[in-house]
Structure 1
């Protein structure tokens, strides 16, 4: 499973791959079957452009003909999940998936199925490898590099074999090759954060001189790959490292603080100086600003950062988005009233968020696409209810899903429906609550005023915060 941002970036690789591929536009067909659908439709898009919305029939199927096809990667969305599909001239594809195991159950059949099954299997392989990355990252630098390079080489050999056997197109070859390369590079950029830890990152200068040998060939302005997720993600991690090196050059800090003002200002400056491609530059600066506003709880520092960001960005839509986000953050300051947001309870009745606050309340969020968090959060709350009976605990499903699936998920795990809600408008609610991560928790006093809008159930002092909420009520 993945965040929406990941899939949107992956979907918009190129308008038609590379211009020198000399494809002729023609026709292609795309059909699908959705088991346990969340909605009655599937949305097809290319980059940021929506191509069409396909309604599901009584058997939860659809069939769509595409005339004057522009070969390349497309996104099909069945909210709240997305995946990619590579469409080329003459393809006649059909996919089948179950929303309860969206990526894992996805299978393609028909003409063009082999290349798409290869890409989805490559994606799932990368996801599975992530489970071992922390283990690999404990290896010394030389051993880690050898391990990652051997995995990459094995993938390249399988890709070459697949290309020879199936006479693949240049478009497919570039997509698959870039996927393999940039996943490798991204892991090397991430390595020092896992190996040294935040307390010893100042030691990253001790890495072997050739550890980042590939950096000398980085193209920061690759228009063809500007929205391709492995390339985009690699640049994100790369800019993190460059900013960290600069940060330690002029800061007295010996411990890395990802949400510090100085570090993030360094990151903005580095992106601005290295990237000349407007779209790539604006996209990465926006991501930096988005992260900082979500992770820093200091209103003064957020104001200072946003002012610097606005001077550098040239994308008016991005600038408005960040300004709106920072203003939403200010509205969640301690002492302010919790926003008027419409919720839906297990009886499909609409209620306002402030109306359900009757005593000191802990609000936590979940989505079934994040199964580990979903189960862990509910189990943790079950224990906390026993220890803190004076508090109310409210769970909100933060993603769009059908009422049926929502109830079935809770019933399957035997979680009580009492104090379970879902957003009537998830997109608007998440923006109002500055909800980017599901581990966010909101502490609200008995009169509906915010005590802490950015708590985290995993924090070591979380229970101290709960005691503080109770003590504040007594006072």
Structure 2
């Protein structure tokens, strides 16, 4: 239920904009307007259905905005503000207003106006899918037959609820296809992810023993659904589906009972081959190629293997901007190899004092990253580090916020959650530093020794084997020191 304060604010916004919406009858444009509570900067950026920028829209003194989209191409548009991202469906004659609080972006977002019902429903299905995805680890403990029945019943319940909504609300066929895709592809993604969670690396060969109808959904897949190319549920499915298909190819060329290795070079080449063969839409194809190649290259492989996958990727991609990005990534990772000194970037502490990162390193250190836009990640990472501190008391832990927003958002989070301000930093130049340190994933951490020499360039504190890996690293370092002393 909306509280009275929110309802009142929406009425005020509606009144302020109604004169501009009233009486407008058109078939080729739409309006979007609204209010941002606690804005992170003074504008929002609006993107079209192809992901290209339409315009940067300034907020007024009351943190409100209104914008008319000319020559509207109906479909999924998006807005970004301060690193947060939100999709919305725009069709001719829509006049959508939104209100959100940046401190709780998704949960506070409310749409009003003509076209609001479909966007509120879209947001509802997105949040529901996100919530269910977080439970997948628990669900994946079910036996295959039970899991299959469970997710199919859940999918049908969601489709039935949507049909009830359509009985009361007349919406376009395009909107229907979007909601159905969100429901279906989230379920299909769960099915594709399930074998990896249920069997694990040691028994993944048994994916072939799943019930005969487990992957029946594959008969209904459109690998070239351009209108879904930037849709989370669709991409979540494609990413896991490609991984799953490549497993079968992997076991054609590896011993039947061998342990599955997701980081093997041939398995990752199989994924790129599959994408190249089954996807023809250039946007979807190039996107999949980029992220699957990046997954491999970002892992702690040899320089030769990284270059091999890079060349394999470059032969298949047709996106020149992506190719440049991947080349730059490989160059950055060369500087982050084991045994190299950590690049000496500039960071700023809670008291606004600038430091070169190597100047604050005096003992073995874990450098971890977080974003103001990912509440669960920054809470969990700080919680995990608290546990690590008690187990590895001889180490330092350096926390770096990666955002380039106003400092108050970074500091408000630190204050609100009572994170210790010692060793809390942010990048002085976020874009440059993220590129230099190859921070493509928030859960990445870099481990260095007391001299700032890299021991591990791409670890993950949430991995189940992180503690044992860290103990092994420190033990090796200890032995090296003893040998050097001798």
TM normalised by structure 1 equals: 0.88
> What 5-or-longer segments of structure 1 have no aligned partner?
1-22
Greater shift after overlay, 353-362 or 401-410?
353-362
Total equivalences in the alignment: 453
**Distance of 1:399 and 1:283 partners within structure 2:** 24
| 1:106 alignment counterpart | 109
1:90 CA displacement:
1.9
Secondary structure at the aligned position of 1:378 is classed as: helix
| 1:26 alignment counterpart | 28
1:437 CA displacement:
2.4
Greater shift after overlay, 415-424 or 278-287?
278-287
Greater shift after overlay, 352-361 or 38-47?
352-361
| 1:17 alignment counterpart | none
| 2:473 alignment counterpart | 465
Give CA deviations for 1:88-145 in whole Å, capped at 9, x if unaligned.
2222221111112111111111221111111101111111112332232222222222
**Distance of 2:222 and 2:385 partners within structure 1:** 48
Greater shift after overlay, 338-347 or 166-175?
338-347
Give CA deviations for 1:172-229 in whole Å, capped at 9, x if unaligned.
1111111112112111111211221221110111112222123234332334434433
Change (3 A) 1:53 1:203: same
Contact 2:26 2:93 (C-alpha < 8 Å) held by counterparts:
no
1:467 CA displacement:
4.9
Contact 1:199 1:254 (C-alpha < 8 Å) held by counterparts:
yes
| 2:8 alignment counterpart | none
**Distance of 2:95 and 2:220 partners within structure 1:** 38
| 1:200 alignment counterpart | 203
**Distance of 1:343 and 1:424 partners within structure 2:** 5
Secondary structure at the aligned position of 1:198 is classed as: coil
**Distance of 1:116 and 1:205 partners within structure 2:** 40
**Distance of 2:112 and 2:442 partners within structure 1:** 35
Secondary structure at the aligned position of 1:394 is classed as: strand
Contact 1:25 1:70 (C-alpha < 8 Å) held by counterparts:
no
Change (3 A) 1:409 1:201: same
- 1:265 to 2:269 alignment: yes
**Distance of 1:379 and 1:118 partners within structure 2:** 34
Secondary structure at the aligned position of 2:89 is classed as: strand
| 1:7 alignment counterpart | none
| 1:231 alignment counterpart | 234
Change (3 A) 1:370 1:257: farther
Change (3 A) 1:472 1:403: farther
Change (3 A) 1:413 1:223: closer
Give CA deviations for 1:144-174 in whole Å, capped at 9, x if unaligned.
2221111111111121222221110122111
**Distance of 1:136 and 1:192 partners within structure 2:** 12
**Distance of 2:271 and 2:249 partners within structure 1:** 9
Moved beyond 6 Å, runs of 4+: none
Q: Highest relative contact order (Cα 8 Å, sep 6+), 1 or 2?
A: 1
Give CA deviations for 1:280-313 in whole Å, capped at 9, x if unaligned.
3222111210111112432222122222222222
1:418 CA displacement:
1.8
Contact 1:445 1:473 (C-alpha < 8 Å) held by counterparts:
no
| 2:334 alignment counterpart | 330
Secondary structure at the aligned position of 1:460 is classed as: helix
- 1:68 to 2:75 alignment: no
Change (3 A) 1:74 1:393: same
Secondary structure at the aligned position of 1:335 is classed as: coil
- 1:395 to 2:399 alignment: yes
Secondary structure at the aligned position of 1:312 is classed as: coil
- Corresponding residue to 2:218 among 215, 220, 235: 215
1:421 CA displacement:
0.7
